[in-house]
A = this chain, B = another copy of it.
Amino acid sequence: MNQLQEKECMKRAIKLAEFGMHTCKPNPRVGCVIVKEGKVIGEGWHKRAGGDHAEIMALKNCELNPEGSIVFVSLEPCTHQGRTPPCIEALIDANVSAVVFSSMDPNPEVSGRSIDMLNAAGIEVSHGLLEEESSELNIGFFHRMRFNRPFVRSKLGSSMDGKIALSNGESKWITSDASRKDVQNLRARSCATMTSNQTVLVDDPSMNVRIENFSTDDQPLRIVVDSSGKCSGNEKVFQLPGETMIHRDRANESLFEHLGSIEINNVLIESGPKMNGALLESGLIDELIIYMSPCILGSDAIDMFVFPAIEKLSDRFSFDIHDLHKIGTDMKITLRKKDV
């Protein structure tokens, strides 16, 4: 196969991985394409933790004997017994001739181990093809593996002058329908959403995914940070199907470490300026997604981030622009922390 064909196969594997976007948590999203004599003979993807991994599904789906085939997989095949047996064994048993994987296993203790095992079985291995795309797909999982805490994404809707509501609190709606629909996708791909007691008491948000046919089992965990115990438990967020966790302390590093320990890959913050300000100051926001409407609300309106005045520009909180595009009549701006 030439490079272009290999790239096409890996693109397809990544595309397949995306089918697990909303369902495979806490596992990574993985896709697999098996090619024999220049023809795709099997495809698979990981749908749900405890179910077949992408490689197994692709092997099962093969329309020809996979012996001698090339296997394209978006993540390094697992070498250990988890909820399911290791994929490496299945690939060796199937007598495939080569394995091309994209991202390395993010767990430093097993990363690259598959290469030795496949080589020992006489199977050619290469990796790194479209690594950026496949890593992006699993940024939360990778983050948890590396740092033992979730990837923290905060979503805000604002005006061009950085305001999230009028001074009287009116905020419905600053951003367009298209932006608000997109938020449903952000939620659907999150393991958890998080807000403050203040937001719950003022806005009474649902915090759940409202996408057609979205299973209750896949609803992200809803986390309400309520250190002062102000919520009654009668608010919507506590009544809807799915799980809600009340956190009786501040949203600090130990909360996120706890979330990592219960296999939360990524958290979507949907909260007000105080919580966002505090998390920003603590360095806990990995990504900001800002839906910005091309309107001006003026200096009296409510700011995005509240924290004590900084004295020097060098103390500002800096990000990199990861993505930037129009969405409906708004802009969607994705900023990423410099060291993520």
Contact = CB atoms under 8 A, between A and B. Distances in A.
A164 to B, nearest CB: 10
A39 interface: no
Given A294-B335, A303-B161, A166 B311 contact: yes
A19 interface: no
Given A299-B306, A309-B300, A324 B325 contact: yes
Nearest to A322: B294
A224 interface: no
Given A303-B161, A331-B333, A298 B310 contact: yes
Interface string A151-184: 0000000111111001110111110000000000
A95 to B, nearest CB: 49
Interface residues of A, number: 52
Given A161-B162, A331-B333, A309 B298 contact: yes
B313 A308 contact: no
Nearest to A299: B303
A173 B318 CA distance: 13
A317 interface: yes
A277 interface: yes
Contacts of A325: 324
Nearest to A296: B317
A290 interface: yes
Interface of A: 158-163, 166-168, 170-174, 273, 277, 280, 288, 290, 294-301, 303-313, 316-321, 324-326, 329-331, 333, 335
